[in-house]
């Protein structure tokens, strides 16, 4: 009987070592970071830049295993489902880390509307104090430059510039913080009649450093401040003050010269200014009071504007509102939906939309245009008047014994008057009122669409100040009237 044919035993396919080797390398680096041998920031930076090396190592191991299998005549090991999953995770996290390393996280933090005392997004915070002092040249001006940190400027009682620095540094350990503190010392330089103070927080590169500076200089010196992130406070100046600021609060008071503010998503509090005041940029909210010069505001104002006691011209201009008048003895409040003012001296020019307007104690000429809001004007001393409104009521209160001429028209509304000598016709879709009161005088031209016109005597309403009037509910539109449309919320 023939013996059976014996087949050679099959060799078992070796398992791939690529995945375990990559996992071991990753685990070793994570262990070193947990033990403090490597910093997490450094580890993240290395991974963001060199993660493709792990894929290259994986490929080299697979190539060696393939050649070994060829020599042994065995089938080489494949990647397998687990290997595919690990490669996908490695590629996804690697690409994400690379993009994250290229992103300017410091700028993101600076552009988030957080308080100036908030710390960095991560890391430990270490504090340092420093002082600088030197002679301040007579007649010189101060130029302050800072990227991050508060700036406070006040008057000194000598001819010195004194700077007290409170610094905060984000770092993994004390050693790194000490190194970055040494590289971010504030610098004072003198060139001609200009003294420059640089907070120098950029000396740490991309690392988070904030330097709050309290500065005292002679009262007569002009001051120019450029601060990217941090509150600014200036008091006690006989010279001019110029401030540029982003994402923080600005305060200025007791200034004998001019004040200029250039703001970006900042708020401002201004008081007791002997010169002119100028505010421009994208401003959250602003308060200006007790100004002996003029006040000019130009830009986009996202929240409230409060003005009080402005001796000279007041001008406000945004994409939605254009306002100017000669003097403000009272106060003015302006927000996205309301404008309230009292004791205003004209000529008054106001062009806006989607606001309920109430102006009390107005003296002089008035030119006003509005839409989608009610208008109420109470005159103390009458001048020529031109009022236009759409989709909102108009109420005018005039001195009881005033002399004037009226030409009023309302399409889709009615006209009412306390002055009996006016000729009023409400018979048709377009109401009219015309006539002369007393011996004649200033001419009042009033036009409205889809709203009433009321011409009242000043005695019809008590002169005592009243709380803000809530917006009136919309009336049912007449046939053919235009519906109200939503308006933007900026001032």
**Confidence band, pLDDT 50/70/90 cuts, at residue 37:** low
- Specify the pLDDT at position 425: 92
0.75 exceeded by pTM: no
Tens digits of residue pLDDT in 288-313: 999 999 999 999 998 899 999 999 99
Residue bearing tokens 């396919």: 13
Of 19-33, 348-362, 472-486, the least confident: 472-486
- Specify the pLDDT at position 484: 44
- Specify the pLDDT at position 308: 97
What is the distance between the alpha carbons of residues 225 and 170, in angstroms, rounded to a whole number?
25
Instruction: With a cut of 80, say whether residue 175 has pLDDT above it.
Output: yes
More confident residue, 151 or 32: 151
Rounded to the nearest angstrom, the gap between the alpha carbon of residue 354 and the centroid of all alpha carbons in its chain is 23
**Confidence band, pLDDT 50/70/90 cuts, at residue 377:** very high
**Confidence band, pLDDT 50/70/90 cuts, at residue 250:** very high
Q: Which H or E run includes 20?
A: helix 18-34
Stretch 228-252: mean pLDDT: 95
Please give the share of the chain, as a percent, with pLDDT higher than 70. 84
**φ, ψ dihedrals at 70, nearest 5°:** -65, -40
**DSSP states of 431-451:** EEEEEEETT--SEEEEEEESS
What mean pLDDT, rounded, does the chain reach? Answer: 85
Of 8-22, 322-336, 472-486, the least confident: 472-486
- Specify the pLDDT at position 481: 41
- Specify the pLDDT at position 462: 52
User: For 303-336, b where at least 16 C-beta lie within 10 A, e where not — what string?
Assistant: ebbebbbbbeebebebebbebbbbbbebbbbbbb
- Specify the pLDDT at position 482: 43
- Specify the pLDDT at position 81: 74
Stretch 202-221: mean pLDDT: 90
Of 29-38, 141-150, 437-446, the least confident: 29-38
Instruction: With a cut of 70, say whether residue 447 has pLDDT above it.
Output: yes
**Confidence band, pLDDT 50/70/90 cuts, at residue 476:** very low
Of residues 246, 286, 238, 285, the one with CA closest to residue 262: 246
- Specify the pLDDT at position 47: 79
What is the distance between the alpha carbons of residues 313 and 292, in angstroms, rounded to a whole number?
10
- Specify the pLDDT at position 464: 43
Stretch 139-148: mean pLDDT: 94
Q: Are 377 and 461 in contact (CB under 8 A)?
A: no
Stretch 71-93: mean pLDDT: 76
Stretch 397-418: mean pLDDT: 93
Q: Are 290 and 271 in contact (CB under 8 A)?
A: yes
**Confidence band, pLDDT 50/70/90 cuts, at residue 461:** low
What is the distance between the alpha carbons of residues 301 and 318, in angstroms, rounded to a whole number?
7
Instruction: With a cut of 80, say whether residue 386 has pLDDT above it.
Output: yes
Expressed in angstroms, the distance from the first to the final Cα of the chain is 109
């Amino acid at each position: 009987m023939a013996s059976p044919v014996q087949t050679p035993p099959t060799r078992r396919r070796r398992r791939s070592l690529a995945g375990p080797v990559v996992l071991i390398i990753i685990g070793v680096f994570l262990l070193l970071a947990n033990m403090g041998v490597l910093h997490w920031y450094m580890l993240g930076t290395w991974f963001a830049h060199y993660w493709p090396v792990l894929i290259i190592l994986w490929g080299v191991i697979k190539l060696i295993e393939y050649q070994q299998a060829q020599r042994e005549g065995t089938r080489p090991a494949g990647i397998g489902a687990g290997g595919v999953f690990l490669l996908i995770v490695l590629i996804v996290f690697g690409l994400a880390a690379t993009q994250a390393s290229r992103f300017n996280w410091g700028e993101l933090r600076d552009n988030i509307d957080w308080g100036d005392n908030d710390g960095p997004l991560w890391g430990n915070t270490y504090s340092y104090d420093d002082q600088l002092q030197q002679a301040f040249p007579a007649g010189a001006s101060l130029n302050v430059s800072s990227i991050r940190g508060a700036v406070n400027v006040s008057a000194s009682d000598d001819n010195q510039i004194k700077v007290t620095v409170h610094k905060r540094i984000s770092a993994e350990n004390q050693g790194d913080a000490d190194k970055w503190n040494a590289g971010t010392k504030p610098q004072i330089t003198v060139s001609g009649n200009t003294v420059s103070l640089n907070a120098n927080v950029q000396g740490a590169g991309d690392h988070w450093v904030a330097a709050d500076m309290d500065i005292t200089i002679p009262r007569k010196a002009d001051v120019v401040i450029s601060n990217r992130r941090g509150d600014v406070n200036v008091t006690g100046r006989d010279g001019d003050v110029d401030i540029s600021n982003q994402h923080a609060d600005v305060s200025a008071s007791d200034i004998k010269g001019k004040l200029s503010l250039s703001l970006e998503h900042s708020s401002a509090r201004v008081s007791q200014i002997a010169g002119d005041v100028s505010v421009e940029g994208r401003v959250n909210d602003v308060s200006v009071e007790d100004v002996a010069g003029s006040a000019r505001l130009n830009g986009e104002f996202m929240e409230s504007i409060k003005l009080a006691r402005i001796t000279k011209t007041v001008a406000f201009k945004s994409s939605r509102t254009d306002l100017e008048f000669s003097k403000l003895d009272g106060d003015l409040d302006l927000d996205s939906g309301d404008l309230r003012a009292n004791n205003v001296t004209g000529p008054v020019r106001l062009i806006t939309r989607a606001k309920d307007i109430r102006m009390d104690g107005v003296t002089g000429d008035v030119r006003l245009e509005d839409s989608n809001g009610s208008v109420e004007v109470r005159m103390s001393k009458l001048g020529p008047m031109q009022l236009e409104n759409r989709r909102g009521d108009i109420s005018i209160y005039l001195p009881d014994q005033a002399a004037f001429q009226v030409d009023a028209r309302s399409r889709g509304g009615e006209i009412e008057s306390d002055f009996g000598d006016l000729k009023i016709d409400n018979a048709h879709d377009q109401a009219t009122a015309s006539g002369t009161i007393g011996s004649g005088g200033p001419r009042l031209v009033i036009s409205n669409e889809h709203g009433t016109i009321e011409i009242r005597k000043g005695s019809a309403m008590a002169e005592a100040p009243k709380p803000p009037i809530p917006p009136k509910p919309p009336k049912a539109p007449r046939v053919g009237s235009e519906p109200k449309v939503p308006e933007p919320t900026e001032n």
